[in-house]
Amino acid sequence: MQRLAARIERFATAAPFVIARGAKHEVEVVVAEVGAGGHNGRGEATPIDYRGETAAEALRAIEGVRGAIEAGATRVDLLDLLPAGAARNALDAALWDLAAKRAATRVWALLGLPDPRPILTAYTIPLGDPGAMAEAARSASARELLKVKLGGEGDVERVRAVRQAAPHARLIADANQSWAGLDVEAMLAALAPFRVELVEQPLAAGADAALAHVRPAIPLAADESCHTRADLDRIVGRYRVINVKLDKAGGLTEALALIEAARQRGLGVMVGCMLSTSLGVAPAFVAAMQADYADLDGPLLLACDRTPGLEFSGSDVHPPLAVLWG
């Protein structure tokens, strides 16, 4: 028998976290714990707000499958028990953590992966006016990879300001669906001189057909348009990269399958995260071991992380300690 406990926790952000959809001052996460055989596995997930998810709803969904979990449901069973989203992610992470503890090994060993090394992670520059974004970029200019949040009109000026403030950093950008009504091809051409390597989600999820004939000067990555393997066939020919997030995919189990399926279709892979603590990001680190880009800076954007948390040094995030997860 397995034992289930779940709860909601709240963490303040270090500063207002602003993207095209609005600002956040705190994040609510749902935490699941599954115990068995004297061991306890933990998982954390952040609801996907643009899909209308809330922590309260995620907690109710977890409670709704309590009987199945306590009867011994597995990670594979979860794929049928719950839809993709935060509830499934929290439980999936807890079951992976539990399996590693019961086997006295690490999750990457269970997957047959080599021992990991630190991974380069992007660091987010929140959306703002060009001056504010330049100041944020200047403060982070020693970091190797910056992710610039965009908002539509004025984005060229924003990126120009960031590039001038951080001339040596690599840049990727995230439009968060804000380019509706803009000429996507022209916007990409205008950003290309600033050495932007990638632009995420220029148009709203569901509006991807408009990208079919765009000749992008910068590769496009699908974020809100790609959650699980079921979305991949709509991605090919419109995007060259997908952003895999465990909260979207509904856990590491689906995320790993999604990465494999994306590779089979010739797509590049970024592994990202929502605002979350180190407990939420730790499983994403395992997925990021197989990615081209990692954006795992969620804990750095909080006023206070869990203890112990992930170790960040320079531009890298280190593998999670067993006492944290996995």
What amino acid positions are annotated as catalytic residues? 149, 245
CA angle 281–284–290, rounded 5-degree value: 150
Residue with tokens 């690599």: 170
User: What is the rounded CA–CA span in Å between residue 263 and residue 269?
Assistant: 8
- Indicate if the alpha-carbon torsion angle 310, 163, 127, 273 is positive or negative: negative
Of 195, 196, 192, 224, give the one whose Cα is nearest residue 208.
Answer: 224
**Pairing of the two strands 196-200 and 220-222:** parallel
- Rounded Cα gap, residues 153 and 135, in angstroms: 20
- End-to-end, the C-alpha distance of the chain in Å comes to 21
| Whole-number Cα distances in Å, 316 to 9, 30, 86, 311, 313 | 27, 26, 26, 8, 5
**What is the C-alpha to C-alpha distance for residues 1 and 147, in angstroms, rounded to an integer?**
44
DSSP string covering 109-171, please? HHTTPPPP--EE--EEE-S--HHHHHHHHHHTTTSSEEEEE--STTHHHHHHHHHHHSTTSEE
Report how many helices (DSSP H) and strands (DSSP E) the chain contains, helices first.
Answer: 12, 14
Cα gap 192→325, rounded to integer Å: 39
The answer to whether 302 touches 260, Cβ cutoff 8 Å, is no
Nearest to 283 by CA among 52, 46, 5: 46
